[in-house]
């Protein structure tokens, strides 16, 4: 999770047994978008974000053919906390991280 995702989303996912690491926990919350996305990729984790700048970074990497672990984006005005938790829970249970490499997905599903 990047620093823009509400803590309630992280907490609810953990209560559902989903392994979540926040940028703050990893000490990566002060990294720029490019470095944060690469850090998530090194860890083999999809980056969940509500930051428009991160979308631009992901799109740039796609255009340049640079691999990254994947981004799931939910605009703050388009998806509420409950919907975000439901969608991310579904994604966590029916997909693998390997399926998300170089992909950008938008919430709500």
Q: Could you list the residue range(s) of the whole structural domain that residue 85 is in?
A: 7-107
Task: Count up the domains in the chain and report the number.
Answer: 1
**1 is a domain residue:** no
Q: What is the pLDDT of residue 61?
A: 97
Pairwise CA distance, residues 90 & 55, whole Å: 22
Q: What is the pLDDT of residue 73?
A: 97
CA distances from 73 to 49, 55, 70, 94 (A): 5, 8, 10, 18
**2 is a domain residue:** no
Q: Is the pTM of this model over 0.75?
A: yes
**68 is a domain residue:** yes
**41 is a domain residue:** yes
Pairwise CA distance, residues 88 & 5, whole Å: 12
Digit-by-digit pLDDT tens for the chain (109 residues) are 999 899 999 999 999 999 999 999 999 999 999 999 999 999 999 999 999 999 999 999 999 999 999 999 999 889 999 999 999 999 999 999 999 999 999 999 9
SS3 93: helix
Q: What is the pLDDT of residue 76?
A: 86
């Amino acid at each position: 999770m990047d620093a823009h995702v509400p803590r309630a989303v992280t907490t609810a996912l953990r209560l559902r047994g989903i392994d979540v690491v926040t940028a703050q926990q990893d000490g990566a919350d002060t990294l720029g978008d490019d470095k944060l996305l690469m850090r998530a990729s090194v860890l083999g984790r999809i980056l969940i974000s509500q930051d428009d700048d991160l979308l631009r970074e992901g799109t740039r990497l796609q255009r340049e053919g640079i691999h990254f672990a994947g981004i799931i984006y939910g605009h703050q005005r388009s998806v509420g906390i409950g919907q975000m938790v439901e969608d991310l829970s579904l994604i966590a249970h029916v997909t693998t991280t390997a399926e998300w490499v170089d992909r950008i997905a938008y919430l709500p599903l």
